[in-house]
Structure 1
Amino acid sequence: MLKGKIALVTGAGSGLGQAVSIGLAAQGAEVILVGRREHLLSQTQASIHAAGGQAVYYAVDVSSKEEVQTLKAEILKQHGAPSVLVNAAGMYGEISSIADSDPGLWIQTLLTNAGGPYLICRAFVGAMIEQGWGRIVNISSAASLAKPNPKNSAYAVSKVALNHFTRQLAAEVEGTGVTANVLHPGEVMTEMFEHIRKASGSNGDMAGWVNRVEQTGGDAPEKTVERILDLIPAEADSINGQFLWIKDGLKGPMPSWE
Structure 2
Amino acid sequence: MFSPQGPSLRELMIQAMSSVEGGYDLLAPKFDRTPFRTPDDVLDACADALRPLGPFDRGLDVCCGTGAGLGVLESLCAGRVTGVDFSGGMLAQARDAYRDAEYVRADARALPLAEAFDLAVTFGALGHFLPAERPAMFAGVHRALRPGGLFAFPISAPPPVTSSAYWAASGFDLAMRVRNALWRPPFVMYYRTVSLDALRADLTAAGFTVSTVPLSSLGRRADSSPHFGLVLARKSDAR
**Structure 1 or 2: more strand by fraction:** 2
> TM-score when scaled to structure 2?
0.42
**Structure 1 or 2: more helix by fraction:** 1
